[in-house]
Structure 1
């Protein structure tokens, strides 16, 4: 089997080229083609000789993903099913801005695993098995593909990236951080790390590791309940990563990075939407500088949760606001094509649904 050339470092590639009678400086040119210009074939590497390209093609391959299916929502959201080199499917989403004054905001939601090992009861991916982690190049390729969609459909490049697709990013720690490096490096896509948010269901040990690594990107915690009994019910990961442990880890992360945390909170009808729940959330936000994103629940076939009613949502958000909490209410996007938060499942469909 040919080697995946994107797993080669520049020094490794330099040595390999020299061993095969090629000039070592070509390694940097190849690296630029792979990570800055996002080449998907050796034929695209036009400043290499035909012989060099043939040599590379003989020994290496570029395991690029491809767009398997694409669906467009009524609100302009585009969901893509991406096929990986081994046939597995993951999903990614392009979310264009809705507000007239923010039309240059284009957000890519990317996946980090095929499936997920966590079993959050409200999330479609949580009902799948985790087949494997994505490598850094596969995450990078999603960003490239979604950026291409943004330019083709809206004539605007990506402005933001959220690791909120399929999988738990902090259980694929090495590859997620390497993908961020490829996306933000001047020798890669050159995006600002402040435009990137990594979302976790809450792995305390790895949140601390993010602090030790002094990452520059933003961190979001999928909280959804601020007492252990309720959170245990909907997010079994909380049994081994309690709110106390998470609070300590987040404080450590903030101490190391100075980056404010985002808490994501889905309001489920008659479960976590009372004023008492709001009070518990407010108390938890006092652990660390933070803001709260209240998210509309997006129904899935596997679960019986319902989204809370608008009046209860307003009271909940109003309470947090009265306590000085920065709170944003996020409306769901791409619901009609199962592209909204919690709905990604990577299921192959017989036909591509286009809704415009």
Structure 2
């Protein structure tokens, strides 16, 4: 008995979809209607495609499917942050966060199931990387968090940060496709400048961002501006030294003219001295940039602690006196393990 394997219809480009409809004996304009349902209207059921004949909807159900993610669990923080556990079509779990603020509503989305980089301070780094997310799985996170924002706070999403589970630049093609769908006029039509992709620092892929002349923002998780310290907390630095990253970032800036954001967690008695700030200031001279000082959110798997408030303030003041645009980012969602570095799926017993 032959069992027809259904095609994930959202994996098809519009041109491929048109060819499929031709093969089905259907008018080509129907493909555009379906594409609009899938990406502009974020439809997850063929039955909802009301402008299609019922016979075509049945034909689509026979040969195609819409693999979509669902909200498995939500947690509400005392500061109104909402953490979501999303279940994927294959049963894998990821997390995404809605971060509400006075001036913006931000979705923090994941790009991989787990992570392969093993950053010592990050909960996700202690997980195995199981697989990359598909473009539609990243897109779905944005759709569901946007819906959540409207339902809970009556405000649509304004910003997206690829700062959840995984390293976006190790899932380059799918991340780029997801951004294309999110920003496209026949997708969610969000502005690229409202999107920030954060990387732990993969030099050759940063150069590729430059070659692709991306319009979204780039953030580098730096956390130390000398190789000895960065090697200790971020093993990726052993193959992507600060010198290599500086060269890649200069290349990226020359191609895009986009300033870069450096994210810097200030750990107690590790990278919180003025000498560390001086090293960071020197690194900042390579190209136009700004620095986000981030409070550390301790995890049970690591011994690192957040630096004292006066140390963080002194660190930021030094950078500002050097003419560097510096912001201190306070933790959001810490009480529900939704803050920066805390996302990790707990294995069920």
| Distance (whole Å) between structure 2 residues aligned to residue 327 and residue 57 of structure 1 | 53
Match of 2:75?
71
1:52 maps to which of 33, 53, 56: 56
Spell out the pairing of 1:184-223 with structure 2 (5 A cutoff): 184-223=183-222
Match of 2:319?
320
Task: Tell me how far 1:329 sits from its aligned partner.
Answer: 0.1
Q: Pairwise CA RMSD of aligned residues?
A: 0.9
Task: Tell me how far 1:349 sits from its aligned partner.
Answer: 7.0
Spell out the pairing of 1:1-356 with structure 2 (5 A cutoff): 1-97=5-101, 99=102, 102=103, 105-347=104-346
| Distance (whole Å) between structure 2 residues aligned to residue 325 and residue 21 of structure 1 | 61
TM-score by length of 2: 0.98
Task: Tell me how far 1:7 sits from its aligned partner.
Answer: 0.7
Unaligned runs of 5+ in 1: 351-356
SS in 1 for 2:98: strand
TM-score by length of 1: 0.96
| Distance (whole Å) between structure 1 residues aligned to residue 241 and residue 342 of structure 2 | 25
| Distance (whole Å) between structure 1 residues aligned to residue 17 and residue 223 of structure 2 | 46
| Distance (whole Å) between structure 2 residues aligned to residue 304 and residue 77 of structure 1 | 25
SS in 1 for 2:73: strand
SS in 2 for 1:188: coil
| Distance (whole Å) between structure 1 residues aligned to residue 261 and residue 239 of structure 2 | 21
In the comparison of the two structures, how many residue pairs are matched? Answer: 345
Match of 1:354?
none
| Distance (whole Å) between structure 1 residues aligned to residue 139 and residue 39 of structure 2 | 9
| Distance (whole Å) between structure 2 residues aligned to residue 153 and residue 348 of structure 1 | 29
Task: Tell me how far 1:347 sits from its aligned partner.
Answer: 2.2
Unaligned runs of 5+ in 2: none
| Distance (whole Å) between structure 1 residues aligned to residue 167 and residue 230 of structure 2 | 17
